[in-house]
Structure 1
Amino acid sequence: MTQNPLVSNSSAWVTDRPVELVVGTFEAGPPPEKRSWHVGIATGIGSLPGDSPDEAARMVAGELPDLPYLAELPDRGVGADMVGRTVGLLVDIFGEVVPSGWRVTRRPGRDTRRAKDFMEWDLDAATEQYAGADWVKIQVCGPWTLAAQVEVASGNRALVDEGAVDDLAASLVQGVLDHLAELGRRLPGTSFVVQLDEPAVPLVIAGALSTPSGFGTVRAVDRSRVGHVLESVTDALAAFPLIAHCCHPNAPLRLLKASGFGALSIDFTEIGTAAARLDPIGELVEADTTLLVGLLPGVEPKGRKKELKDWATPVLGTFDRLGFPRETLSGRVVPTPTCGLAGAGDDWALEAMKLSRELSRAFEDLPEGW
């Protein structure tokens, strides 16, 4: 029997045939007259509370019309979570839910089918609510977070098998391209922004993820290897504006930028004043990197109600410390919540989106006294 060239020698990894990467199945790129997606706008990160895709899409379209996004609704259960949603997009790789989480299987089962059904309903809602939008954003698990959260047959994280990581990355790319092609058919004239969620990358690099027993940790992955895999994905998706989202305080900003992302989504409330945190931000701004600045918390804050200026303080203070003119904010930053809003109530989810949009307008012409 001939060895599958994309399968590692480890018996832990299972897939029946190579994932053939077909780049260019969907052509994207805004016409010259289209407004750039990142100028003077606001958007969301990914998840929302509730279980109605129609209601979620209607709310997003109403509050974030410049860059609506295909919201994740994990309250629906298995297959609607960030990992399961992405597993449902994979090509020739399938998954099922076991007590410890998602695990690769040889053929699709009910969990994979459920994830695909959820996505189909989300696409139906987007077709209805986002028709005519210049831009729409999608979110998927990045390859490293996916490999950190999905198990192979042995019960180990796919992360421990280089062949498994490479297979997942290739399958992910093809799945995203197919997904975008379907969106393009449903939303003619719309261009798409692709966000890769990589909250686990700092843990992957630090070797801080636990083994199945819980008594040890998975070995750290070298930064160059992390960058190489990320670059293979960004190269294949280079026709689209790409965002890397990592709300971890130790997000490797320089590595993500060097891996080919034109925009980075980070929790700006965690930046602080230390040079180690500020210097990478300064480098990104100087390199004309678009920053999705997380300013609104994922759950409703306690205490007194803040004014709009208070929410803007982290980004205003950071720009002041770095010496960048505040007048440049609108062309460089996109206000967002700090992370997903699945844990928020409906009222705060709506309020967080409204505040993000109000901040984007304020950054275009800063009010007196800010």
Structure 2
Amino acid sequence: MTIATGIGSLPGDDAAAFDEAVRTVLGELPDLPHLPELPGRGATASMTGRTLALVGGLDADLQPAGWRLTGSTGSPGADHRRARSLLAQDLDAIEEQAQGYEGRFKVQVTGPWTLAATVEKPRGDRVLADHGARRELAQALAEGVAEHVADVRRRVPGATELLVQVDEPALPAVLAGSIPTASGFHRHRSVDLPVASALLEEVFAAVASAGAVPLAHCCVADVPAALLTGAGAQGLSVDLGVLAASAYDEVATLLEKGAPVLLGVVPSTDPATPPGEKAVVEQVLRFLDMLGFDPEAVAGHLVVTPTCGLAGASPAWARQALRLTRSVATSLG
């Protein structure tokens, strides 16, 4: 059976919106609900702030340029404490509303390279510029994610399989050497593939060791699919509408192995003309035919999703997008 899920983010800017988001994912995505993310609540709920909330041993605070590490003092700043408190409240909400749920469940974290490209060192500039700092951050992330997996398992005991989606939207830019320095006048050096793989391996291995399934999400055209799967990602989440042909072979290999492939096919922001279910289904069928697969052969591990997170959508479209995603999955069989 083809199933549906969301990428992670939804619109909303307060606790009431988060509770509604939980009800929405549990109701509209019964086969693979996920822990919602509401970045509209501010920097402490952004993908960076939310993941820093998981990182132990490293403190951080908010600066005008964004999140900055402050060292290993054991005295996190007010914003870091707020991010941790907000995540705990979100987990309380999912624990309460998911009582009695049984099935697969998904959570999302920011990957090591996107963190390194968005978080500053204590004295400024990105962690990306410092080999030691980015390794330390990746190690702390790996430890934090393992603890997060254990916590989610405790809170959602009916989760028969836990999937951890590692979001790496900045990874292609890191590899291409196009991340700007703090001044904006220069770019950070490109990262070699073996170096990039090492930090990814750290996080993917931690997820797998904790008994969860590591997935990699990157919804840009030049997703480095072979790098991600080679580093230990056991599944991929991609935007089918922009996916470059260079990634097709890796997607086909995953489908052939029975690994989860999350295909983004429903617009993540309000479209001028909403696509019909038939058109979206045909888009997926054409892609599968191009790869040489019958829908029935991949139904157990093909997952239909919006093209990316829904934080930029209106609440009405976010709900409609998830309903459309589910109906497309049902039509695919």
Aligned position for 2:312: 343
Report what 1:353 is aligned to. Answer: 322
Per the alignment, in what secondary structure is the counterpart of residue 237 of structure 1?
Answer: helix
What displacement does 1:277 show? 4.5
Number of residues paired by the alignment? 323
Give the whole-Å Cα distance in 1 for the aligned partners of 2:290 and 2:259.
18
> Which AA in structure 2 matches 1:175?
G
Counterpart of 1:252?
A: 224
Please give the secondary structure, in 1, of the residue aligned with 2:3: coil
1:265 aligns with 2:265: no
Partner SS state of residue 79, structure 1: helix
Q: Which residue of 2 aligns with 1:81?
A: 46
Mind listing any 5+ residue stretches in structure 2 that lack a counterpart?
none
Q: Residue 295 of structure 1 aligns to a residue in which SS?
A: strand
SS at match of 2:45: coil
Say which structure is richer in helix. Answer: 2
**RMSD, aligned CA:** 1.5
Contact 2:264 2:304 in 1 (8 A): yes
- Alpha-carbon separation, structure 2, partners of 1:306 and 1:339: 16
Q: Which residue number in structure 1 is paired with residue 284 of structure 2? A: 315
Question: What secondary structure, in the 3-state scheme, does the structure 1 residue paired with 2:178 have?
Answer: coil
Q: Distance in 1 between matches of 2:154 and 2:85?
A: 18
**Identity across matched positions, percent:** 46
1:61 aligns with 2:22: no
Match of residue 4 from structure 2: 42
Q: Distance in 1 between matches of 2:104 and 2:298?
A: 21
Alpha-carbon distance between aligned partners in 2 of 1:115 and 1:66, rounded to the nearest angstrom: 29
Structure 2 distance, partners of 1:276, 1:90, is: 34
1:215 is matched with 185
Q: Give how far 1:323 is off.
A: 2.0
Say whether residues 1:144 and 2:113 are aligned partners.
yes
Distance, in Å, in 1 between the alignment partners of 2:3 and 2:331 is 10
> So what's the TM-score if we normalise by structure 2?
0.93
Corresponding residue of 1:187: 156
Match of 2:59?
94
Compute the TM-score of the two structures, normalised by the length of structure 1: 0.84
Instruction: Give 1:229 shift.
Output: 1.2
How much has 1:324 moved relative to structure 2? 1.7
Inter-partner Cα distance in structure 1 for 2:282 and 2:135: 41
- Residue 343 of structure 1 and its aligned partner are, at CA, apart by 0.5
CA offset digits 1:202-254 (Å, max 9, x no partner)? 01110010011101100000011111111122122212111100001110011
Secondary structure of residue in 2 paired with 1:293: strand
User: How far did 1:49 drift?
Assistant: 0.4
* Maintained 8 Å contact 1:102/1:150: yes
Amino acid at match of 1:363: L
1:72 equivalent to 2:27? Answer no
* Counterpart contact for 2:222–2:243, Cα < 8 Å: no
- Tell me the residue number matched to 1:228: 198
CA contact (8 A) 1:74 1:81 kept: yes
CA distance, structure 1, for counterparts of residue 61 and residue 225 of structure 2:
33
Q: Equivalents in 1 of 2:111, 2:300: separation in Å? A: 26
Q: Could you list the per-position Cα deviations for residues 72-131 of structure 1 after superposition, in whole angstroms to 9, with x for gaps in the alignment?
A: 111111200000001111001111111111100133011101101211111111011112
SS in 1 for 2:265: strand
1:123 aligns with 2:88: no
SS, match of residue 308 in structure 2: coil
Whether the 8 Å CA contact 2:239–2:265 is kept in 1: the answer is yes
1:59 counterpart SS class: helix
Q: Is the 8 A contact 2:55 2:143 kept in 1?
A: yes
Tell me the equivalent position of 2:168: 198
How far apart are 1:331 and its partner, in Å?
A: 2.2
Structure 2 counterpart of 1:271, which letter?
Answer: L
Name which one, 1 or 2, has greater alpha-carbon Rg. Answer: 1
Distance 2:90 2:246 in 1: 40
| Residue of structure 1 in register with 2:76 after alignment | 108
The CA deviation at 1:333 is 1.3
Change (3 A) 1:242 1:103: same
| Contact residue 261 and residue 301 of structure 2 kept, 8 A | yes
**How far is 1:187 from its partner?**
2.3
- Return the alpha-carbon distance in structure 1 between the equivalents of residues 86 and 258 of structure 2: 37
Q: Is the 8 A contact 2:2 2:304 kept in 1?
A: no
Letter of the aligned partner of 2:311 in structure 1?
A: A
Contact kept? 1:132, 1:190, Cα under 8 Å: no
Amino acid at match of 2:243: I
The answer (yes or no) to whether the contact 1:263–1:289 under 8 Å persists in 2 is yes
| Runs of 4+ in structure 1 over 6 Å off | none
Contact 1:68 / 1:130 at 8 angstroms: preserved in 2? Answer: no
